[in-house]
Amino acid sequence: MAKSEALVLDFWASPFAMRVKIALEEKGVEYETRHEDDLLGNKSELLLKSNPIHNKVPVLLHGDKPVCESLVILSYIDDEWPQPPFLPSSPYDRSVARFWADYVDKKLFEAGGEIWRAQGEATEAGKKELFEVLKNLEGTLGENDYFGGETFGFLDIVIIPLTSWFYAYECLGGFKIEEEFPKLSTWIKRCLQRQSVAKVLPEPVKLLEFVRMIRKMHGLE
Amino acid sequence: MAQENDIELLDFWVSPFGQRVRIALAEKGVDYEYKEQDLMNKSEFLLKSNPVYKQIPVLLHGGKPICQSLIIVEYIDEVWSDKPPLLPAEPYARANARFWADFTDKKVYECGTKLWKLKGEEQAAAKKEFIEIFKFLEGELGDKTFFGGETFGFIDVALVPFVAWFYAYETCAKFSIEEVCPKIVAWGKRCMERESVSKTLSDPDKVYEFVLFLKKRFGVE
């Protein structure tokens, strides 16, 4: 018999999987994780069965029912366990949070990827794009403590895992986030003080090692 | 100056994304001002309302812009909650609706575009992908009346505008969607019995003319 009702199909470095784990922690839901050791070569039967369309982590299995795509999973967690709410209460504010979550999904990880998956000019282009994305996000944050305003919420959960990759981007791109984006840096430190975030996010140096390993595999180091 | 309850829609006649919003507004019986945009010469107002993507559709409610078609549809569903809902109430059903709407966003338009933009082997590969995408959708639809079951809902709104593009896709890539996905085509015809859909979708002949115009513009022959 399963100890807990929720199972996350996981990969330690996946910022998308981190979102799900943080969300469950925030709601106080007991969950287990099952790590996919070989996402490139040999995906587990359970993963392929639970996510036949995309074959990707994360997947949340609640009872037997699979939920796929991290933003869909976040909304599901918020619907299923309403307290404390992740999304603001007004429809307009909710649409703004969803807009920026979607923007982050379309732009942030991709821009970072251009930095570490390449060299020279391509890395420079990636850096420029990343800076534009972070500038937009800092604009949205404004003077607030969190993207959710006074409380840690949906958009904070969406973005914070991606920041664990920043150290890798900094080392490969030759810049410091703290110098370029001080407000964002402060927000990152504030979020890292939350138990859910501190527990879930891997150490940035481990992600740098991971990135270096992949670069080596592709002859970039 | 926009009044508190004024609703405007910045849109482009043939856009399936804009049509999702028009269908949702019609389903809810909402009055609004439609403002056709010249996408080759974007207005200041459009650029100001959607500075991040500079794209249609944009819904303005009391002057406040909401962007990204599925986010707009969810906003409409939340604001006009006194009318029949587009998203189901139950969390797992909601997650399922969001997942398939997101699938439509990630796959249909891009693959459809490849059908008219590419030739030869590349087009053949795109055709194979297109059929695979629609077979997945057909699997989800099954023998139901609509994707949500007996009632027209979120996934139907997300997908149905692309039905007007079937003729163009079929003609460019020389195949019959009805032959490979008869349930989808039958579903499309059922949706067209709804006034919100029949009054919104473009005439397939006009869509095809538009695609020919795009082919010329992109130098595809």
What would the pLDDT profile of B14-23 be if each residue is shown by its tens digit? 999 999 999 9
- State percent of chain A over pLDDT 70: 98
Looking at residue B115, its pLDDT comes to: 96
Contacts (Cβ under 8 Å, ≥6 apart) of A154 = A74, A78, A86, A87, A97, A98, A101, A147, A148
With CB atoms and an 8 Å threshold, state whether A95 touches B72: yes
Same domain, B102 and B187: yes
Same domain, B129 and B26: no
Cis upstream peptide for A91 (omega within 30°) = no
Tell me whether B2 touches chain A (CB under 8 Å): no
Closest chain B C-alpha to A176 CA, distance in angstroms: 25
Q: Is residue B1 part of a domain?
A: no
Same domain, B97 and B193: yes
Query: Which chain A residues touch B if contact means CB-CB below 8 Å?
Result: 53, 62, 65, 67-69, 71-73, 75-76, 79-80, 91-92, 94-95, 98-99, 102-103, 136
Q: What is the pLDDT of residues B180-209, one digit of tens each?
A: 999 999 999 999 999 999 999 999 999 999
Looking at residue A2, its pLDDT comes to: 46
| Boundary-marking domain end, from B16, B48, B79 | B79
**pLDDT mean across residues, chain B:** 96
Q: Answer whether residue A187 shows pLDDT above 70.
A: yes
Same domain, B96 and B75: no
Q: Is residue B84 part of a domain?
A: no
Closest chain B C-alpha to A42 CA, distance in angstroms: 23
Q: Is residue B40 part of a domain?
A: yes
- State percent of chain B over pLDDT 90: 95
Q: What is the CATH number of the domain that holds B164?
A: 1.20.1050.10
Q: Which domain holds residue B144?
A: 91-217
Same domain, B75 and B103: no
Q: What is the CATH number of the domain that holds B15?
A: 3.40.30.10
Residue A72's pLDDT band (cuts 50, 70, 90): very high
What residues of chain A lie within 8 A of the CB of B52, using their CB? 103, 136
With CB atoms and an 8 Å threshold, state whether A72 touches B98: yes
Same domain, B130 and B155: yes
| Boundary-marking domain end, from B49, B79, B109 | B79
Looking at residue B220, its pLDDT comes to: 85
Q: Is residue B18 part of a domain?
A: yes
Q: What is the pLDDT of residues B141-163, one digit of tens each?
A: 999 999 999 999 999 999 999 99
> What is the pLDDT averaged over residues A65-79?
97
With CB atoms and an 8 Å threshold, state whether B64 touches A69: no
Name the residue among B67, B68, B99 with its Cβ closest to that of A72. B99
Q: Answer whether residue A118 shows pLDDT above 90.
A: no
Looking at residue B2, its pLDDT comes to: 57
Same domain, B54 and B157: no
The number of folded domains in chain B is 2
Three-class HEC string of chain B: CCCCCCEEEEECCCCHHHHHHHHHHHHCCCCCEEEECCCCCCCHHHHHHCCCCCCCCEEEECCEEEECHHHHHHHHHHHCCCCCCCCCCCHHHHHHHHHHHHHHHHHHHHHHHHHHHCCHHHHHHHHHHHHHHHHHHHHHHCCCCECCECCCCHHHHHHHHHHHHHHHHHHHHCCCHHHHCHHHHHHHHHHHCCHHHHCCCCCHHHHHHHHHHHHHHCCCC
> What is the pLDDT averaged over residues A43-63?
95
Query: Which residues, numbered 30 to 59 in chain B, qualify as contacts with chain A under a Cβ-Cβ cut-off of 8 Å?
Result: 52
Name the residue among B64, B79, B92 with its Cβ closest to that of A65. B92
Same domain, B95 and B68: no
> What is the pLDDT averaged over residues A152-170?
97
Identify which of B79, B52, B31, B62 has the alpha carbon closest to the alpha carbon of residue A91.
Answer: B79
Looking at residue A119, its pLDDT comes to: 84
Q: Answer whether residue A4 shows pLDDT above 70.
A: no
Q: Is residue B26 part of a domain?
A: yes
> What is the pLDDT averaged over residues B171-178?
97
Q: Is residue B153 part of a domain?
A: yes
Residue A120's pLDDT band (cuts 50, 70, 90): confident
**A–B: how many Cβ contacts below 8 A?**
56
Of the listed ranges A34-43, B44-53, B107-116, the one predicted with least confidence = A34-43
Same domain, B67 and B98: no
Name the residue among B64, B72, B91 with its Cβ closest to that of A76. B91
Q: Minimal Cα distance from A52: which residue of B?
A: B136
**pLDDT mean across residues, chain A:** 94
Looking at residue A1, its pLDDT comes to: 40
| Boundary-marking domain end, from B27, B46, B79 | B79
Looking at residue A221, its pLDDT comes to: 79
Same domain, B73 and B102: no
Q: Which of A53, A55, A65 to mutate to test the interface with B (most CBs of B within 10 A)?
A: A53
Q: Answer whether residue B56 shows pLDDT above 70.
A: yes
Q: Is residue B205 part of a domain?
A: yes
Same domain, B33 and B140: no
Query: Which residues, numbered 109 to 138 in chain B, qualify as contacts with chain A under a Cβ-Cβ cut-off of 8 Å?
Result: 136
Same domain, B143 and B101: yes
Residue A38's pLDDT band (cuts 50, 70, 90): confident
